[in-house]
Structures are given as structure tokens and as C-alpha cells.
Structure 1
Amino acid sequence: MKNKLVLILLFVLPIAIYLIFSTATHNSLFLPTISKANNDIPNNWKGLNHENISMKDKITVLGFVGNNIIENRGNFFNLNQKIYNKYKGFKDFQMIMVAPIGSEAKAKQIIDELAPITGEMTGWKFVFASPEEIQSFYDSYNLVGKLDANFGTPAVIIVDKELNHRGRKGKNKKGVDEYKESYNTISAADLHNEMTDDIKIILREYRLALKKNKNERKDAFRDNIKENIERNK
């Protein structure tokens, strides 16, 4: 009975994984790179608890929320429900919202409002800087979109562990050229359909890379043992 169960799992699991990732609306099983080796969060920028925050070695949803944090609370709710709640279980996933110095109390209010419906909030982070610093940091990504007069935008981007900006570039499944550098937090549909899909793909990339590295280490360990045995014969 146990053998049959194992065989069933071995047959069903790959199919299930394929079905999950084949729902991607674009053509690639790997999320395209928009720009490489971008700037990390500067060391002098501080979070709500005056801590340093970094994107290095994390899959990050990066946003620039400006001064109108409370007025745009619906955007945070959309992002929380459609994205954060789905991926908060991944220790390498986080969301960083950049806001002007002086808006700390507003950011804390948003965290306090989301916590009762979300629970684990350690991956939800705000970081604060001067308007000039925010503009300079935003411009370094060479995005098509622009910040508004309050140094904010409803758009968020995906940054991978190597600080590469990821998105959609090339032909989709219908053969139509597309370019998507950001995701609109005003639109629950944009987050639910496209951003969810793209984060799913990038998480898959890292899982496959981790599995490959583990297999390579196992092979190297096995070869090393074999070498030692043959040397001692």
C-alpha cells in the first residue's frame, strides 16, 4: 500500500506543479530582467524601528508611497490581500515601501490596520528618506513611470535577490509584444492576475536553482568519497 502511495505521489506531483506554473500569462517560465544590479536601499535610510533595511538576498516588492499614505490606504489593502498574504510564508519574500521622512506615524497606522487581518507582518516594511533622496533613488531604476508631486506612485516593482528589476518583456503566449515594468496597486485585478503570476514564477526560479545546487553538492560529495576510496585501495 505504501509503495502504491509513493508511486501515485511521484506521478501526480509533477503534473500538479506543471499545472500551477503553466497558468502564466506570458510565454516564459522565467521572469525577464528589465535592468540589472540596481541600487539597494541606502544605509542611512531607516525603517519604522530605526533599523537598516536591505533588498539584497530577498525577493522584494518595492513601492514609493509618497506623503498621501492614509489617503491611499486602499492600495495597501489591495497589495496586502492579493500579494502579501499569499507569499508571506516565504522567508525570502518582503515588501518595502519608501516614504518621506515625517510620515512615520502614517505608516505605523497602516501597519496597525493591516495586522489584525494579516497576522505576520515582519515582511511588511517602510523605510524613510528625504524627498530628494527618494527621487534620486527612483530615477536610478530608469523607469518609464514617474513619481507624482508627493513623491509617490501607485505602481510597485519586483526586485530579485541580486537587485535585478524583473517584469515582462518580449512576446506573451498570444505572440503579442508586451512590456511591464510595474504593477498598479489601485487595480486588484492587476495584482491578482499578473503580479501574483510573476511572483510565483520568480519563486519557482529560486526553488529550481536551490534544488540544482543541492544536487550538485550531493554529486560532489559522492565523487569525493569515491575518489578517497579509490586512492586508499
Structure 2
Amino acid sequence: MKLTKKRVVLFLLFIFPLICFLILSTGKNNFTKLPIVTKNIVDISTIDPTKTFKGNISIVCFLGNNIDENRGGFFNLNEKIYKNFIKYNKFQILAIYPDGKEEEVQKIKKEISAFTDMVKWNFIKGSKKNIKALYTSFKAKDSLKNLYTSKVYLVDKNGDLRGRVNDADSKDGKLFGYNMNSVSVLNGKLKDDVLVLYYEYYASFKDKNKNKADRKEVGL
């Protein structure tokens, strides 16, 4: 492949920083595929037919019945995660809220949109039954109180829940969700894991293209 100025610029802007991140970041988790902690969770289309986990990298959060009381975590999520990944392909945040909370949702949307492009924020209304069914499928260790949890969840393109199986801060090493009230968790864990997941897909895409090129060379 001919090395052009455009390719060099693209490499320096996008691929090289990601490779540097993986080399410099500490922890075994960054050098392997991000673990699947729950396979085949319920798809978000069961709540909103216009949305899906499939083909996307999704951050899922549950707003609950007391949105105003819990708003701090959602602003943390916006600042530390959303703004870092808004330009990434197929990235989305799905904020799920119960019927009857439209007014509170409009308020928080207005506050966030004052300094953020909301194009990849998706606020999804659902019934109590459907919200609980979705959360139950995660098989997470924490309960969903008042349809709210301070944890946010990372779902891959296949609709599997990703997390950690060797997390130092979890009793059994398993990390299902990331505490959005903790800036250190968002910066030090969720941000890292989203990058690892993107690199996993990039590496898979690169391997597929290489295999196609190899097969073409031998006439397959």
C-alpha cells in the first residue's frame, strides 16, 4: 500500500494515539479482549423499537424516579465519557427513564444541551416492567431501586454486556457496571474499557482485511 501524506496524517491523528494508550496503560485488561460478563442481554428495542444495541457501542444508564436528586452522576458521565467519544463511530448513550418523568427529563436535557451536542444522547421512555426486564437481563449484582442505579453499563455490538473479571475493587473480581458518581471510575475504568473495546474491533477489522488480502494473493 502506497504511503501517502493523507494516510500519514490519519495515522498520527487517530491510530497512533490509541496504540500509545494501550502500550502505556497499566493492567492486563488493556492487553486482552474486554471480558463478556453477561451474554445476550435483552435488546433495547424491547423498550424503543427505533433503537438497538446491535452494531453499536452503548453506554446504558437508568435515570429512575428521582432524576433531580441523581443528576450529578449524569453530568459526570457527559463530561468524562460522552465528550471523549462523541466523534467515535457507532457510539451512543442510552438514558432510560420511566413513564411519567417526561418533565424532569426535558429539564436535564436542556441543562446538558446548554454546553453539549446531544446527537448521541438518547433518552428512552419505558414501562416499569420493561425497564426491570432489561436490567434483570444484565445479571448485575446491584439492585435497581426506584428504577435507578448509580452504575452505567457497557454493551458491545453483539448485545453482550462487557466489564471486568479481575477488578481489584470488586469482591469477586467481577465488574458489571461503572459508578458514574465517581470521576476516578469513569476516567480510570470506563474510559479505558471503551477504548479497549474500540481497539478490539479495530484489530478484528484489520485482521479480516489482511486475511482477505492473503487469500487474494494465493488465488482463493
Given the two structures, how large is their TM-score scaled by the length of structure 1?
A: 0.79
Matches of 1:15 and 1:94, distance apart in 2: 24
User: Which residue in the other structure is 1:22 paired with?
Assistant: 23
2:147 pairs with one of 137, 145, 151: 151
Deviations 1:145-203 (A, max 9, x none): 1111x21111011110011111110377xxx9722111111111111111111111111
Deviations 1:37-82 (A, max 9, x none): 2210134x23xxxx72111110111111211122222111100000
User: Which residue in the other structure is 1:118 paired with?
Assistant: 116
Q: Which runs of 5+ in 1 are unaligned?
A: 228-233
Structure whose residues are more often strand by fraction: 1
User: Which residue in the other structure is 2:62 paired with?
Assistant: 64
Matches of 1:171 and 1:190, distance apart in 2: 11
User: Which residue in the other structure is 2:128 paired with?
Assistant: 131
User: Which residue in the other structure is 2:53 paired with?
Assistant: 55
Q: 1:222 to 1:106 in 2, by over 3 A?
A: farther
1:204 pairs with one of 178, 199, 204: 199
User: Computing the radius of gyration over CA atoms, which structure comes out larger, 1 or 2?
Assistant: 1
Q: Which runs of 5+ in 2 are unaligned?
A: none
Q: How many residues align?
A: 209
User: How far apart are residue 211 of structure 1 and its match?
Assistant: 1.4
User: How far apart are residue 19 of structure 1 and its match?
Assistant: 3.1
2:189 pairs with one of 179, 189, 194: 194
Q: 1:42 to 1:18 in 2, by over 3 A?
A: closer
Q: Where in structure 2 are the equivalents of 1:154-233 lying within 5 Å?
A: 154-170=150-166, 178-224=173-219
Q: Which runs of 4+ in 1 moved over 6 A?
A: 12-15
Q: Which has the higher mean CA deviation after the structures are superposed, 130-139 or 84-93?
A: 130-139
Q: 1:184 to 1:37 in 2, by over 3 A?
A: same
Q: Which has the higher mean CA deviation after the structures are superposed, 210-219 or 124-133?
A: 210-219
Assess if the C-alpha contact under 8 Å between 1:99 and 1:127 holds in 2.
Answer: yes
User: How far apart are residue 98 of structure 1 and its match?
Assistant: 1.3
Q: Which has the higher mean CA deviation after the structures are superposed, 24-33 or 69-78?
A: 24-33
Assess if the C-alpha contact under 8 Å between 1:25 and 1:194 holds in 2.
Answer: no
User: Which residue in the other structure is 2:87 paired with?
Assistant: 89
1:109 pairs with one of 101, 107, 128: 107
Assess if the C-alpha contact under 8 Å between 2:167 and 2:175 holds in 1.
Answer: no
> Identity of counterpart residues, as a percentage?
30
